[in-house]
Structure 1
Amino acid sequence: YNSDPEFVRSVLRAYHRPDNPLFVPEIAKTDGFAKYLFAALGEGALGFAPFGVDPHGWNILGGSPPTAHARNFAHLGPMSKEIARLNFEGKLKTAVEETGQPQQELDFGTWQVTIAYGYPQRDGRRAPGTSDAHGAALIAQLGPDEFLVTGVDASVNFHLPDRLPAMRMQILAAQEGAFENGAWKAVRLWNGDETDRGLQFHEDDPTVVRVRLGKF
């Protein structure tokens, strides 16, 4: 129930051990804690639950639903098996926004990922961050040059080590879709205007993208 990001991370790390699968049976129900689902998944969590999920019993929000938690569960639920498998295989990483840090990096070896939070994101300017630091991203490597990507109020840019995005690389395909019974079902291809400034994910329009990259 302490919302300090470093405190939450320290608790997650303390329980993430080879002899102890991480499980978060209780966390605050308010929206400010929803992003920690992504942090928990980044530490290999196999479960995550806000306090007072039963709508017929006592909870600190009265009759109000846990909006952000519900959004995350609805968004990630259809691919929970894939998330669990990719996490077990060590192929999944996450990023969670912190106040005053509107940009973060993830390392996938031959591919690096820049995550920037908040909108608008204008060319040549630092991302603004969100007003309450609720941004998050989840990225899983499916193959040497293929990734599964989603996020909340975040843009995701792939790039080669020590190079800026779009230098000596390009997005060959970006499929928006979902998993159905373990199979990926694409619903549409993102066009160049949707990818040339990074893959952009918005809180009010949850999407999942499977992206294939190329080097030259």
Structure 2
Amino acid sequence: MLVVLAGAVTAGAQSLPSLQRQGSAGHLMVNGKPFLVLGGELGNSSASSADYMRPIWKKLRAMHCNTVLAPVYWELIEPVQGKFDFTTVDSLLAGARRHSIKIVFLWFGSWKNSMSCYVPAWVKKDYKTYPRAYDERGLAQEILTPFSADNLRADVDAFRALMKHIREHDEKYQTVIMIQVENEIGILPSARDYHPQATKAFHQPVPTALMQYLQQHKKSLAPALAEAWRKNGSRTSGTWEEVFGKGLATDEMFIAWHFALFANQVALEGKKVYPLPMFVNAALNRPNVKPGGYPSGGPLPHIIDIWKAATPAIDLLSPDFYNPDFIHWNDLYTRPDNALFIPEIRFEPSVSAKVFYALGHYQAIGFSPFSIESTDTPENEPIGKSYQVLTQLMPLLCQHQGKPTLDGVLLDKRSDADTLTFGNYTFIVKHDYTLGWSPGAKEENWPQAGGLIIQTAPNEFIVAGTGIVVSFVSAQPSKGRTGILSIEEGGYREGHWNPGRTMNGDQSHQGRHLRFPVGEYGIQKLSLYQYK
């Protein structure tokens, strides 16, 4: 059953892109059909020049990307207050349509990587009308304060104009499928803003809406937030320090609420014009770094409930990945109220394995390496080989999203095996190097390997990935042992399976396993049976 999430709407007979829920997973609908973002995010400046973009479109197609994540720069679309120039936007729309690629626009508005570097010159120079955030010494930063009504109004006006332009020029095409509101919001170098209006707000009572959310979600709050509230008596009213205690953690909770209110208002006003799905991304904090040492107050897992309470108009909160603990962070962002979308991840070979895990295990709605255009050999990029496989599987993946018939694995030398159970069968999935057949098995570090498994019938499965070897045992030994009935390599064309080789001999080690060697990417159709 599909349940519409907050913010999902339709317009007339033609449905706009929307986020829905299928079982336990989020579901992105585009042109009336489920869609997975096999994307690439452009480097910060690439989208500012049509000439620079011209060869990039072919690179995206060579890597089998179906979506590009592209910035829209406030300073370029509104160089003079109230006068808009959408040349860069129109160029991106034309290029995307020409190459059959969808767009997720990234609104580089008030904040980009916490700084206000893409606001127009007329905002930067008029700092009395458009004030900055202050650090604890009272020094202005090149960061707009979220406590200014003028700052909010200027951002909203520009964003509404952008959404109006997109609606007028793209609604019938649906090239644009989602919008990111701001970029990696956060405060530096202090844990909160010390602008006089911010300090005044800090000493006011915690807003009623947040207190009600805490009480309604008491059993499911993020641990750090729940513990801070409990330690101070689980009060139902009081100032920020009375409710959560004194310290940097409370400072960050406070600024998170106000950043979230600002972003929600921008999204809300934009949706009134053109209600596309909207999300906010987070620059992940590193272990043992205190608030103020990272962009603080963004939609990070330890304060994600504050963002959820403040942002009913925002559909997703998403992680940007530049640290190695992929599983840990995805666990924190995958929640009943938050489908996983990975809009930005370091562009490196391991993403070709991680995307199988993200779409298989977490059933993410999309995946997007950053600065994907930086490659000089797009046809050889591992992520392109994964995307080629996943493009074939998209209808099947979307059909099984949110169901126990879909799962995935991610393996390396430290975690070289995993087990998954589907009905009568347990799959023992190991890193290909555990076989010891490759010279690379002797190396200190192994490349990450990943895969996904779809159960299409009680005894039939589709397995896809790279660098994995899979064997099978009975989940209920009393029913007998498990054997391989057949393995076919092949692919999907227009939703139909096209078999290639039958793999029941040496390729399956005489019926012992299914295998994708490291460096190879593919799809295999598997049939199992039981015997005594």
TM-score class, shorter-chain normalisation, is: 0.7 to 0.9
1:28 aligns with 2:346: yes
Per the TM alignment, residue 202 of structure 1 is displaced from its structure 2 partner at its CA by 2.1
Amino-acid identity (%): 25
Alignment of 1:177-188 (within 5 A): 177-188=490-501
Q: Which of 89-98 and 141-150 deviates more?
A: 89-98
- C-alpha contact 1:3 1:32 (8 A) present in aligned 2: no
Q: Secondary structure at the match of 1:81?
A: helix
- C-alpha contact 2:467 2:520 (8 A) present in aligned 1: no
Per the TM alignment, residue 34 of structure 1 is displaced from its structure 2 partner at its CA by 3.1
1:194 counterpart (507, 510, 513): 507
Q: In the alignment, residue 399 of structure 2 is paired with which amino acid?
A: R
1:49 aligns with 2:49: no
1:157 aligns with 2:476: no
Which TM-score applies when normalising by structure 1?
A: 0.81
Alignment of 1:2-151 (within 5 A): 2-4=322-324, 7-41=325-359, 42-53=361-372, 55=373, 59=374, 63=376, 65=378, 67-119=381-433, 121=435, 128=441, 131-151=445-465
Deviations 1:24-77 (A, max 9, x none): 111111113332212211101011010112x3xxx5x6x464822222112222
- C-alpha contact 2:487 2:503 (8 A) present in aligned 1: yes
Deviations 1:162-193 (A, max 9, x none): 76xxx722111212111111122212321232
Deviations 1:114-168 (A, max 9, x none): 1121347269xxxx487434111211111111111122111111211376xxx72
The structure whose Rg is larger is 2
- C-alpha contact 2:322 2:345 (8 A) present in aligned 1: no
- C-alpha contact 1:46 1:84 (8 A) present in aligned 2: no
Q: In the alignment, residue 48 of structure 1 is paired with which amino acid?
A: F
Structure with a larger share of its residues in helix: 2
Q: Distance in 1 between matches of 2:377 and 2:436?
A: 36
Cα separation, partners in 2 of 1:103 and 1:89, compared to 1, 3 Å: closer
Q: Which runs of 5+ in 1 are unaligned?
A: none
Q: Secondary structure at the match of 2:401?
A: helix
- C-alpha contact 1:154 1:201 (8 A) present in aligned 2: yes
- C-alpha contact 1:111 1:158 (8 A) present in aligned 2: yes
Q: In the alignment, residue 362 of structure 2 is paired with which amino acid?
A: E
- C-alpha contact 1:118 1:129 (8 A) present in aligned 2: no
Q: Secondary structure at the match of 2:412?
A: coil
- C-alpha contact 2:489 2:525 (8 A) present in aligned 1: yes
**Aligned-pair Cα RMSD in Å:** 2.5
Q: Which runs of 5+ in 2 are unaligned?
A: 1-320
Cα separation, partners in 2 of 1:95 and 1:70, compared to 1, 3 Å: same
Q: Distance in 1 between matches of 2:431 and 2:503?
A: 20
Q: Distance in 1 between matches of 2:513 and 2:381?
A: 27
- C-alpha contact 1:3 1:33 (8 A) present in aligned 2: no
| Paired positions, count | 201
1:175 maps to which residue? 488
Q: Distance in 2 between matches of 1:199 and 1:67?
A: 24
Q: Distance in 1 between matches of 2:442 and 2:427?
A: 17
Q: Distance in 2 between matches of 1:45 and 1:162?
A: 31
1:212 aligns with 2:527: yes
- C-alpha contact 2:352 2:383 (8 A) present in aligned 1: yes
Which TM-score applies when normalising by structure 2?
A: 0.35
- C-alpha contact 2:420 2:428 (8 A) present in aligned 1: yes
Q: Secondary structure at the match of 1:100?
A: coil
Q: In the alignment, residue 199 of structure 1 is paired with which amino acid?
A: L
Q: Distance in 2 between matches of 1:120 and 1:39?
A: 19
Cα separation, partners in 2 of 1:215 and 1:73, compared to 1, 3 Å: same
Q: Secondary structure at the match of 1:21?
A: coil
Q: Distance in 2 between matches of 1:99 and 1:121?
A: 12
- C-alpha contact 1:151 1:202 (8 A) present in aligned 2: no
Structure with a larger share of its residues in strand: 1
Cα separation, partners in 2 of 1:146 and 1:117, compared to 1, 3 Å: same
